[in-house]
């Protein structure tokens, strides 16, 4: 028997395994997809040998396996398609008239191999907004509870960023930032002069601008800015399970990894009032087996984690494991965007483009923070940057363009939910998820205002030939497209309205823990992965304390 089973090997699962192993626990990590070995199984070198046009997936194959391609066309190629789950091989259903793009990575390391690496702390207001405006349940933790864990994961992962001193985007333990180019510096000066309540900063990213001893001990090297991150990084220049948490866990001698293990359900003993392990179907042979442990951690990503709970039914939990509140599957969130606002920057034609770097610029949230009287709740940030156009036919020969794309917060809504199909099963006999989610009035109103704001900002900055903001605002991304799915098994103070407590521990099953996106009680406006890391490290150490103290039996 293991001390702990960790279901999932992505960003959050890797952190849980590392922390538990370093506490001396014997840990089994289960991954439904195949093994991916650091370096040798990456497609980085292959991608470097191909022109972009030569590395495109054929249209027929895209339509069959990767219908979400439009949302990840910057990162999905023929050479790395093994890192992106096929919707044909791993089906799900959606409610009529409500499209959802569920973008997954089913292999060891999960989406830590392909993520965009934008890494931002959430701010104090992000843990208080539900209570203040009445949407969702109050977070059972506050920023101060998570701050030391942000410190912990930033130092290990390696986050490059500047110290900006903004209340809505707390500073952290950063490596030196990547530099802005000359156009971005000019745009920053002009925007901040025209809009004193807004800031344009360098994006914070999990790519090593330099290495510390911690990184060197793991064999990680400085990012070289080759921009083939979605193919895997042989240098370990960006944070991934394979480059960081997995080797740290393996170094303890306490980790066992089993790949090709599709977890079908969590086993529950009503007499003990505890989970005892998981039931697994071999991905290749379809043979079933069971693994036992003193604790179980679900880190399969929001939708898979809730689907696993819903499929783990028993006399004690007829609606799904730990689902006495009927909140499992509910309050599915993502972020929401419009088409980017893009303009050309006149001049600077002799200014060299420093070219490849792993991040762009970021405009932190200002709505309902430094600016009030908005017609919508919460707010949005913007990502973007300035680049030289590579089109020789660019009008007027202007070589620079500047873009801003908003990423807005989505309110928790219990009707945005995941259930299981009563009639359809996947290749392993597991009911497929049914996703019923749509953006609400607040999201549409916010994105219309965000597109207009972005247009006004770039115009004030000096950009010309901007695209129409009204048209950009009409093209709102469908749920799932931003690849930031959150919710479905939320944290809360009250077991009647939430699934887990502030430590990620199931209210009704004390040796069951969650710390992936499923536990999020709101979505904030920032990328969530750094928060998953901090929550996972905090949850794992709390669980280890409970096991040490005999609380879990």
Q: For residue 483, give both structure tokens.
A: 């690849």
Q: At residue 269, what are phi and psi to the nearest 5 degrees?
A: -105, 110
- Per-residue model confidence (pLDDT) at position 392: 46
Q: Residue 349: what pLDDT?
A: 85
Residue 102 is given by DSSP the state -
Indicate yes or no: pTM above 0.85. yes
pLDDT digits (tens, 9 = 90+) for 381-400: 999 999 987 654 455 557 89
pLDDT at res. 391 = 52
Which is nearest to 175 in space by CA: 99, 246, 119, 244? 119
**pLDDT < 50 regions, the chain:** 392-393
Residue 9 contacts residue 110 (beta carbons within 8 Å): yes
Instruction: Please give the sequence-ordered ranges of beta strands (E in DSSP) within 203-328, or none if there are none.
Output: 255-258, 261-269, 274-282, 288-298
Rounded distance, CA 457 to CA 346, Å?
Answer: 16
Fold of the domain built from segment(s) 162-203+335-409+440-475: Cholesterol Oxidase; domain 2 (3.30.410)
Residues 6+ apart with CB under 8 A from 522: 126, 129, 130, 135, 136, 139, 333, 409, 411, 412
208 vs 201: CA distance, rounded Å: 18
- Give residue 397's pLDDT: 58
CATH class of segment(s) 2-161+204-334+410-439+476-548: alpha beta
Nearest to 85 by CA among 266, 287, 262, 218: 262
**Residues 482 and 212 sit within 8 Å (Cβ to Cβ):** no
Phi, psi of 341 (to 5 degrees): -95, 125
Residue 477 C-alpha from the chain's centroid: 16
Structure tokens at 84: 């992106």
Per-residue pLDDT, 398? 73
Q: Where are the domains of the chain?
A: 2-161+204-334+410-439+476-548, 162-203+335-409+440-475
Among 154, 136, 111, which residue's Cα sits nearest to residue 483? 111
Residue 252, number of CB atoms within 10 A of its CB: 17
- Cα separation values, 184 from 343, 345, 389, 440, 459, Å: 13, 10, 15, 34, 14
Cα–Cα distance for residue pair 102/28, rounded to 1 Å: 27
Domains 2-161+204-334+410-439+476-548 and 162-203+335-409+440-475 share a fold: no
């Amino acid at each position: 028997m293991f001390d702990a089973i960790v279901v999932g090997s992505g960003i959050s699962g890797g952190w849980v395994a590392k922390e538990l192993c370093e506490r001396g626990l014997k840990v089994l990590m289960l991954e439904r997809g195949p093994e991916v070995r650091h370096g040798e199984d990456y497609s980085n070198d292959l991608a470097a040998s191909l022109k972009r046009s030569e590395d495109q997936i054929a249209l027929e194959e895209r339509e069959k396996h990767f219908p979400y391609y439009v949302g990840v066309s910057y990162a999905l190629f023929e050479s790395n398609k093994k890192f992106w789950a096929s919707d044909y091989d791993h089906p799900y259903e959606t409610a009529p008239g409500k499209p959802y793009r569920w973008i997954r990575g089913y292999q060891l390391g999960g989406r830590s191999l392909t993520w965009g690496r934008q890494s931002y702390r959430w701010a104090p207001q992000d843990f208080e907004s539900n209570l203040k405006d009445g949407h969702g349940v109050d977070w059972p933790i506050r920023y101060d509870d998570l701050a030391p864990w942000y410190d912990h994961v930033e130092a290990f992962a390696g986050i490059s960023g500047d110290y900006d001193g903004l209340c809505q985007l707390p500073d952290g333990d950063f490596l030196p930032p990547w530099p802005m180019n000359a156009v971005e510096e000019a745009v920053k000066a002009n925007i901040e002069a025209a809009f004193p309540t807004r800031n344009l900063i360098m994006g914070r990213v999990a790519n090593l601008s330099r290495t510390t001893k911690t990184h060197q001990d793991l064999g990680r090297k400085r990012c070289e800015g080759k921009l083939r991150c979605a193919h895997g990084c042989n240098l370990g220049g960006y944070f991934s399970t394979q480059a960081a948490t997995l080797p740290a866990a393996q170094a303890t001698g306490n980790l066992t990894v089993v790949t090709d293990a599709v977890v079908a359900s969590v086993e529950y003993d009503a007499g003990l009032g505890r989970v005892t392990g998981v039931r697994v179907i071999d991905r290749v042979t379809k043979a079933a087996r069971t693994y036992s442990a003193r604790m179980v951690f679900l880190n399969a990503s929001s939708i898979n984690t809730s689907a696993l709970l819903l499929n783990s039914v028993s006399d004690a939990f007829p609606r799904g494991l730990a689902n006495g509140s009927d909140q499992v599957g509910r309050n599915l969130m993502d972020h929401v965007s419009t088409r980017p606002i893009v303009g050309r920057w006149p001049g600077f034609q002799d200014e060299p483009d420093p070219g490849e770097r792993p991040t762009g610029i970021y405009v932190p949230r200002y709505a309902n923070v430094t600016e009030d009287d908005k017609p919508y709740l919460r707010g949005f940030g913007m990502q973007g940057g300035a680049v030289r156009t590579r089109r020789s036919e660019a009008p007027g020969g202007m070589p620079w363009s500047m873009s801003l794309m908003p990423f807005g917060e989505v309110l928790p809504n219990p009707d945005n939910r995941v259930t299981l199909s009563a009639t359809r099963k996947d290749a392993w006999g597991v009911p497929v998820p049914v996703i019923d989610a749509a953006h609400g009035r607040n999201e549409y109103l916010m994105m219309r205002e965000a597109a207009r704001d972005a247009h006004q900002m770039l115009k004030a900055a000096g950009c010309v030939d901007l695209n129409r903001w009204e048209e950009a605002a009409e093209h709102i991304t469908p749920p799932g497209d931003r690849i930031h799915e959150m919710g479905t098994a939320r944290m809360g103070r009250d077991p009647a309205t939430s699934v887990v407590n502030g430590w990620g521990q199931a209210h009704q099953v004390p040796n069951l823990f969650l710390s992936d996106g499923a536990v999020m009680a709101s979505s904030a406006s920032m990328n969530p992965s750094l928060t998953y890391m901090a929550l996972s490290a905090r949850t794992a150490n709390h669980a280890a304390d409970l096991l040490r103290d005999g609380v879990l039996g």
